[in-house]
Amino acid sequence: MKSIIKQIIGFAVLLGITASCADTNYPGGVVNPTIGIYDVRNLYKGSPVSLNVESLGGSNNISATVISDHSAGNIPEGLLIVQDAQRLDLLRGIAIPLGAQAKDFVPGDSLVINIDGAELDRVHDVLQIKNITIDKIQKVGAGKQVFATMTNTAKIAAKPYDYESTLVAIVKGGYEYSPTEGQVISGDQTINDGFGTITLTTDASSSIANLPQYKMANYYGIIFTKTVQDSVIGYQRLRKKSDLVELKSEYKVPKAIITGWTNDPKGTDSNNEYIQFMATEDIDFSKTPFSVVTTNNANASTPTGFPRKGWATGGMRTYKFNLTSGFAKKGTLFYVGGSKKLIMSTGSTSIADANWITAYDYAGNDGQGFGNKTSNLLANSGNAYGIAIFQGTEVTDQSIPEDVIFVATGGSLVGNGLGYRIANTDFYDIINPVSLKEQPFYRSGSNNNNIPYNTPSDAGYFNMMGGEYNIKLSRWTKARVKYAPILDKTSTLADIENPEFLTKLID
């Protein structure tokens, strides 16, 4: 009997030990003394939080990299700003009020900071770890490379606290006007990067206040937040002169832009695929001819391998239409494609009354210059296909389009100095805006943006691209986004020329 009782007691003790271990993230071990800034920030729920071993789950310090630089006098005085990605590789930052000693630390310093006994609070709209004295900061390294997170204004606007006190790069930022000589960044300036806007704040007393306003530039700086009418808004402060990088790549106004297309009409595709464009100026095609080239990169399409002549490769890879007659008024739509002029394949509404510049039997004829006749001009799934419009009817491997769009990513697209050339658009950049290196082709460098295929196939989607192009500024102030309505046999031209979803021209 005693033996049974001992066994029961022993079993109960074992259960207790097991349960105790199950309640900790570190069974049989010691809690990591370092906690990520992500976890520290999440402790704040609107009121001050005492930071101690208990509230920090057994930890007592943060290990972070300095991003603040007070040399130009444009970062809030007395704040040391650090960031880390200790938790799930999620970069987060925090401010530490140190007074005059904040200037003693520079970007790239690696610090271990004891935060046991400190207080977490939001002061003047900045989340801070307060009551940190210099003796609680250990510098364990210097000169660490600090990378700015490349993001866009829409992401910052959606989650400002995620970016607060972190170093970010806003690329291809410009003003909503053309800056003139003598205009400087001092004060609050509104920057547009094609995804939205953000305020750039530069103190008038800062040594960088007289930096010029550039037509287009990259902005490397720290994000701060403020509350405006119960909404939290992120804004950016540059730290030093080198945080402003002018972009000198040419951004000319394309004479026509791609606004829509159907690649997979409901029913047979043969001669029923077409592309919609918008003229950004009056175009008389008999005097100023253009050409439209499509590319289809199925693995079986010949010639195989990387496109030997780019858009002019021909065969089953690229197909060309010539636009040599007709007229398109500025801001109006025109069409290029198959000869049937139906909105959604056989038995559907005729859209012959639309402004068709070229309606060509691509299923029965080779391309106008190059390309084999085909029953499927633009693929329905699989590897990438693309659309480009060029000024002139002569297209070579060196030709740069007025505008270009790609769907999907697969196939032999770029390599060995060969590829499909892109233009400077809302999607693509001939010069990498961050590294400033040449990247002339789709899928080279950062030119990876593309439109996904619609699923399921043969449903009757029309791809409509809505954005905002500013002619005066010669750039996209709102990047294009796809809207893909499903059309049926009774749909009309109004369904694909809906101004609510079409790209808008701004003068």
Q: What letters, b where the CB count within 10 A reaches 16 and e where it falls short, cover 342-378?
A: bbbbeebbebeebebbbbbebbeeebbbbbbebebbb
For residue 5, is pLDDT > 60?
no
- Looking at residue 250, its pLDDT comes to 78
Positive or negative CA dihedral for 249, 251, 257, 260? positive
- Looking at residue 386, its pLDDT comes to 98
- 217 DSSP β-pair partners: 173, 246
Domain 249-507 of CATH type 2.60.40.1260: yes
For residue 359, is pLDDT > 70?
yes
- Looking at residue 248, its pLDDT comes to 84
Q: What is the pLDDT of residues 187-212, one digit of tens each?
A: 999 999 999 999 999 999 999 999 99
Residue 29: pLDDT band (50, 70, 90) is low
Q: Are 110 and 61 in contact (CB under 8 A)?
A: no
Q: What is the pLDDT of residues 300-328, one digit of tens each?
A: 899 999 999 999 999 999 999 999 999 99
CATH topology of domain 149-246: OB fold (Dihydrolipoamide Acetyltransferase, E2P) (2.40.50)
CA distance 102 to 337: 64
CA distance 391 to 402: 7
Q: What is the pLDDT of residues 158-180, one digit of tens each?
A: 999 999 999 999 999 999 999 99
CATH topology of domain 37-141: OB fold (Dihydrolipoamide Acetyltransferase, E2P) (2.40.50)
Residue 13: pLDDT band (50, 70, 90) is very low
- Looking at residue 378, its pLDDT comes to 96
Mean pLDDT in residue range 366-382 = 96
With a pLDDT cut of 70, the percent of the chain lying above it is 94
The mean pLDDT of the chain is: 93
For residue 12, is pLDDT > 70?
no
Domain boundary assignment for the chain: 37-141, 149-246, 249-507
- Looking at residue 147, its pLDDT comes to 85
Two domains, one topology: 37-141 and 149-246:
yes
For residue 87, is pLDDT > 90?
no
With a pLDDT cut of 90, the percent of the chain lying above it is 89
- Looking at residue 88, its pLDDT comes to 83
How far is residue 42 CA from its own chain's centroid?
27
Mean pLDDT in residue range 138-165 = 95
Q: Is 398 exposed, middle or buried (0-12, 13-18, 19+ CB in 10 A)?
A: exposed
Could you write out the DSSP letters of every residue in 353-407? TS-EEEE--TTTS--SSS----S-SS-SSSS-EEEEEEESS---TT---SEEEEE
For residue 18, is pLDDT > 50?
no
Q: What is the pLDDT of residues 412-467, one digit of tens each?
A: 999 999 999 999 999 999 999 888 899 999 999 999 999 999 999 999 999 999 99
